[in-house]
A and B are shown apart, each in its own frame.
Chain A
């Protein structure tokens, strides 16, 4: 029997990644909450925790370039007694690190050399900038136009179709060409081999699944 999990994420790319992770461990998503930025999500944590005393939740937060005190703040909001059915995961910097961790497929998707992708994606300080810089070298114009901001726009951190384009690497059926056979898509299991934070996220979700099965 499938267990239905409430998921809260800050934006569309995280939503896609979260949905793939749930599917990977055999959990079904019941509803996607948040989608209102990181601050919106953090503000709502106490409410999610109350709900997680009863129903399973998967909350995915990116840390991005936040001060190191951010995890402490989350600990305070969630409290020491973390609900049993809460899988709260913090991507070390951003979920892009997890995408980079599937080196072969990401290189093919972006149309770049495999060696250009960092070996330790969790250690990359600014994953968004890293992905944008990788995309600059892409042989596909489509990728460059989507991910890289137009030259001269110094305030723009990323291209206008950044999340949308990366989502097409994560979720099946979201690539325009329609040629996204599952074997070209991001493989969380493979990626977990190169990203300890992703590995522990998958473990946490498997643990949640086990607890749910045991609870029945």
Chain B
């Protein structure tokens, strides 16, 4: 199954967007244009489906006024609609899940105004509670529940004491616990693959393993080769930010689960490594389950991979009426530039230029 389309109405930066999603997508645009908020819409659906329902999902985000679009007139309802295609059936089945909510009732609390599940266009259910109870529709909720978001913060991996949240912290607070919770066979095979890939970026690193300390806390240990014949073992406390981020990225790509949302995977990484991210994603997508990956990025180096197709690049363009999302090749003038041989990163930087001249005044 995979996400085929996402429609957002009055959600954060967006008054109204309708985006068809391919297997691999790169979201680009200026700072604060809504790339993360677009990913958050998917995380929101995940929270609604499997982490306490709508009210909890809204509460986690600081209330309705925080998720509603500022550019929207008055106080309209917020709506999210996800289209999911199941390729395991022949012909493929198209599911859609629509959720609309607003403040309402005497208590002025957040309430669902519309909730619909459609199968191949036919209305089938109107409440998630029923969806959850019904085995057949359960797979829609289960699929949304499998959405994973990764934005590893190295400091949190090194110092999990700071982390007080629940399981599956996208920022890496329980990253080592999650790695340690994998079955031995899977863990070994993943660590070997990660070790191999890491060695390219960090040539001194020759071995990687997971061990628990006396208190039972898991630690990653890496063997660094240097002038001493035996090398030296270091733990995640000594790993560089780049090593930890790359480790997190590689793990997330190998991990089981549904659609993977990656927030700026280029952070702390060397340019040459960043350029390989798109092909690493493509490589793991060759596997049977064809995991969908949606990446937000500011890195033109990442877009330099010449196998990225323009229909995988989504440009976020802020306007007074909310952010618009366009597929790079949707605008004919852009498509023509690409056909003339101007590469994607150059076109992207020409059409989404932040006005950086003013930054020159900083510090004066």
Contacts and interface: CB of A to CB of B under 8 A. Distances in A.
Contacts of B337: 6, 51
Contact of A47 (B340, B360, B364): B340
Contact of A171 (B336, B346, B347, B357): B357
- How many chain B residues sit at the interface, stated as a range, is 10 to 19
Contacts of B340: 47-48, 50-51
Contact of A44 (B342, B351, B361): B342
Contact of B342 (A32, A48, A171, A175): A48
A174 interface: yes
B346 A167 contact: no
Contact of A31 (B341, B350, B360, B361): B350
A173 B357 contact: yes
A69 interface: no
A34 B337 CA distance: 13
B364 A176 contact: yes
A32 B360 contact: no
Contacts of A34: 346
Interface in A156-207: 164, 167-168, 171, 173-176
A46 interface: yes
B114 interface: no
Contact of B357 (A47, A55, A167): A167
A54 interface: yes
Contact of A174 (B333, B341, B358): B358
B65 interface: no
A46 B336 CA distance: 14
A31 B336 contact: no
Interface in A1-60: 6, 16, 31-36, 44, 46-48, 50-51, 54-55
A174 B342 CA distance: 30
A88 B347 CA distance: 19
B353 interface: yes
B349 interface: yes
Contacts of B361: 174-176
- Per CB-CB distance, the 7 closest pairs between chain A and chain B, nearest first, are A176-B364, A47-B341, A31-B350, A50-B340, A51-B340, A164-B360, A33-B350
Interface of A: 6, 16, 31-36, 44, 46-48, 50-51, 54-55, 164, 167-168, 171, 173-176
13 contacts: A6-B350, A31-B351, A32-B350, A33-B342, A33-B346, A35-B349, A47-B342, A50-B341, A51-B336, A54-B336, A174-B358, A174-B361, A176-B364
